A and B are shown apart, each in its own frame.
Chain A
Amino acid sequence: MKYLKVGDEILFSGVIYTARDQAHQRLVKLKKIPFDLEGEVIYYCGPSATPKGKVIGACGPTTSSRMDKFVEPLLKKGLVGMIGKGGRSKSVRQLIKKYKALYLVAPSGCGALLAQKVISKKIVCFKDLGPEAVYRLEVEDFPLIVAIDSFGRSIYEDL
C-alpha cells in the first residue's frame, strides 16, 4: 500500500466493509466491534435494496467528510483504507499519514456501474439499520483513485 501514491488509478479486487453515518457512530462507541478491522478497508456506502437475481443494488460512495470525526478510533483498531467521495479535513489527512493508511475515491454517482463489480454481499452487523448496516462486499476490478496517500498527500484541498 505504501507504494500507491496520490493520483494513482487502480482496479481493486478483494474485501471491503460498508459503513456510513449511523454505523460509524455505533462502531466508535463499542468496546469490541463485531468484526476484525485489522488490515481492512471501509467503504462509505449505503446500497439500494438488492433486486431479484442480482448480488447487490446500486452501491456508489457517499460523502466522506461526514465520517471525518470517526476516523481516528477506527485507524487505532487497525483500519488501513477508506473509500468514499470528495475531500477530507486536514486532520484526517494528517491521521492517514500518521497511521500509514490510504483514502481512495470511487466514481461518484455511478452506483449501477459499481454494482457490477461486486461478487458477493453478506451482512456483518447492525441489520436494523437497513441500507446503513455493515455489509462485507467482495469486489473485483473496483475502479478507484488514490485521493490521499500514506505520505498525507491529497488530490483535493483540505476541507
Chain B
Amino acid sequence: MNLKKLKKQVQELTAKANFSLGSDVSGLLAKAYRLEKNKRAKNALKQIIDNADIAKKERVAICQDTGLPLIFIEAGKKITISNDLVEAIKQGVEDGYRKNFLRRSIVDPLKRGRSSYRGAIVHLDFTPKVSGLKITVFPKGFGSENKTRLKMFDPTADFTEIEQFIVESVQLAGAQACPPFLVGVGIGGTSDTALLLAKKALIEKANILNSTEKKILKKINMLKIGPMGLGGPTTCLSVKIRTQDTHIAGLPVGVNISCHALRRATLQIL
C-alpha cells in the first residue's frame, strides 16, 4: 500500500468529517425541520441546517469544537497492519486538522497547558469477513461526550430498566449537549466494551432503526427538550444500539450522546 497516498486520503477524509454532515444526518435534520411545528424550535433547526450549508460551502468547521479525533480502522482479510500504516493514518488526521485550521483541543489531562493536534485515538478491528481496509474519522465533541453514562445492570434486569436508563441519560444531557441528539447505546462485553460499542453505534447509518430503537426514540422525544433545549418534540433524531456477548454475571450498558452535528466520514480502500 502506498502510505504517502493513504496519508493524503486520510487528510482529506478528516476535512470532510469536519466540514460536512453525512447524508443520513442531514436527511434527519431536514425531516425534523419539515415536521416541527413549534416556531422557536423550527427556527433553531433552520439555523442548524444553514450552519451545515455554510460549513460545507466555505470549508469552515461545522462546530468550533472539532473534537477529540477518533480513528476506527477495520482491517479485512487481505490487509496486513503495520506500525507504519497506523502512523500514516494518524499523521493524515493530524495534517487534516492543521492544514484545515481546525481547533487544537488536545491537552495533558492533569497539567492541561498548551493544547495540540496530536493525540488521536485509534481503535483497530480485524474483520475477516471483508477484504479491504475501512477507515473512519470521527471527531467527537466534548459538550456531548461529557454526558456519557455507564451502568452495570444485573443480568436479570428487565429491558424496560435499560430503556429507562437511556431516556434518563438523555434527560440529564439536556440543553447543554446541543440537542437534537443522536444516541449510541452499547450493550454487553465489559464496561469498556459497552462504551466503545456505544461509539461504534453512532458510526452506523443513523436513519435506519429497528423496532426497539424506534420505540426508545419515541420515548426520548416525549422529554420535549427540543432543539437548543427550547422545547418541542425534536429532542432526538436517532437511537442506535449495538450488542456483544457478555458474562453470565453482568449486563453492562453504555450510553454515548452525539450533538446534532454528528460528524464522521469513512474511506473504503480496495
Contact = CB atoms under 8 A, between A and B. Distances in A.
A62 B65 contact: yes
Interface string A97-115: 0000000010111111101
B61 A111 contact: yes
Interface in A51-103: 51-52, 54, 57-60, 62-65, 85-87
A57 B143 contact: no
B44 interface: yes
A52 B260 CA distance: 27
A132 interface: yes
A48 B51 contact: no
A130 B61 contact: no
Contact of B55 (A47, A58, A62): A58
Interface in A28-58: 45-52, 54, 57-58
B228 A112 contact: no
Contact of B48 (A48, A54, A109): A109
Interface stretch (B99-107, B183-191, B249-257): B99-107
A112 B51 contact: yes
Contacts of A51: 59-60, 100-101
Given A110-B48, A110-B51, A112-B58, A22 B112 contact: yes
Nearest to A112: B55
Contact of A63 (B58, B64, B146): B146
Interface in B247-270: 259-261
A109 B260 contact: yes
Contacts of B44: 107
Given A47-B103, A108-B228, A113-B47, A132 B115 contact: yes
Nearest to A51: B101
Interface of A is mostly: loop
Interface string B37-55: 0001000100110111011
Interface in B161-218: 174-178
A87 B51 contact: no
Contacts of A86: 174-177, 229
B55 A131 contact: no
Contacts of B79: none
Contacts, number: 134
A86 B179 CA distance: 10
Nearest to A109: B178
A30 to B, nearest CB: 17
B63 A54 contact: no
Interface string B78-108: 0000000000000000000000111111000
B228 A85 contact: yes
A130 B176 contact: no
B171 to A, nearest CB: 11
A131 B176 contact: no
A48 B66 contact: yes
Contact of A113 (B50, B65, B143): B50
A58 B230 CA distance: 23
Contacts of A52: 101
Contacts of B112: 22
A134 to B, nearest CB: 15
Contacts of A60: 63-65
Contacts of B260: 109
Contacts of B48: 107, 109-110
B63 A131 contact: no
A9 B47 CA distance: 14
Interface string B101-145: 111110000001011000000000000000000000000000100
Interface of B: 40, 44, 47-48, 50-52, 54-55, 58-66, 100-105, 112, 114-115, 143, 146, 174-178, 228-230, 259-261
6 contacts: A22-B112, A45-B64, A57-B103, A131-B105, A132-B115, A156-B174
Given A86-B177, A129-B115, A155-B230, 8 more contacts: A49-B102, A54-B60, A58-B61, A110-B47, A110-B48, A111-B60, A130-B104, A143-B47
